[in-house]
Amino acid sequence: MIDLDNQTTLEVNLDLLEEIAQALSTKEVELIITDDQTMQILNKEHRGKDTVTDVLSFPMDAPFTEQSIFGMPLGSIIIAASFVKDKAAYFDHSEQNELSLLFIHGMLHLLGFDHEVDSGEMRLREKELIEQFDLPKSLIVRTEN
């Protein structure tokens, strides 16, 4: 289940996002759609990068056994609405598709994947999910660089 906090005017259809979430985890996920200023503050505070970014993931800091026992959420995904709009226009697909691509990326980070240190496992899993949900391949293209 997704707990949505849309702080912007971006249209969000939760149906596909719920399908993606359920394919990856039975845990609740918080999804926040926000503006550039908030995203830049969060990126600087948590990653030391004073720039806007497309998606940030914050896994719950409890052991998975505690999450199971107490029904704690998997974590939070924060997405910048401007990136959704800009990348959708740039790659010529819908904003909902772009939001879904970024959501997949964020979910995989919540599940422990890390493309910055792995040997391609996250990109492979993204590719499988993109094909499973018939999404545009643009995320694969831009993460291969």
Q: Which amino acid, one-letter code, is at 133?
A: F
Q: Return the half-sphere exposure (C-beta side, CA atoms, 13 A cut-off) of residue 65.
A: 0
Nearest to 79 by CA among 60, 51, 98: 98
The CATH class of 2-143 is alpha beta
**Mean pLDDT for the chain?**
89
Question: What's the CA gap between 101 and 97, in Å, rounded?
Answer: 6
Q: Are β-strands 55-59 and 29-34 bridged in parallel, bridged antiparallel, or unpaired?
A: unpaired
> Where is pLDDT greater, at 137 or 131?
131
The answer to whether 139 touches 130, Cβ cutoff 8 Å, is yes
Q: Are β-strands 55-59 and 75-80 bridged in parallel, bridged antiparallel, or unpaired?
A: antiparallel
Q: For residue range 53-87, list pLDDT tens digits in order.
A: 999 999 886 555 555 556 678 899 999 999 999 99
Q: Taking the model in full, what pTM does it have?
A: 0.89
pLDDT of residue 116: 77
Domain ranges of the chain: 2-143
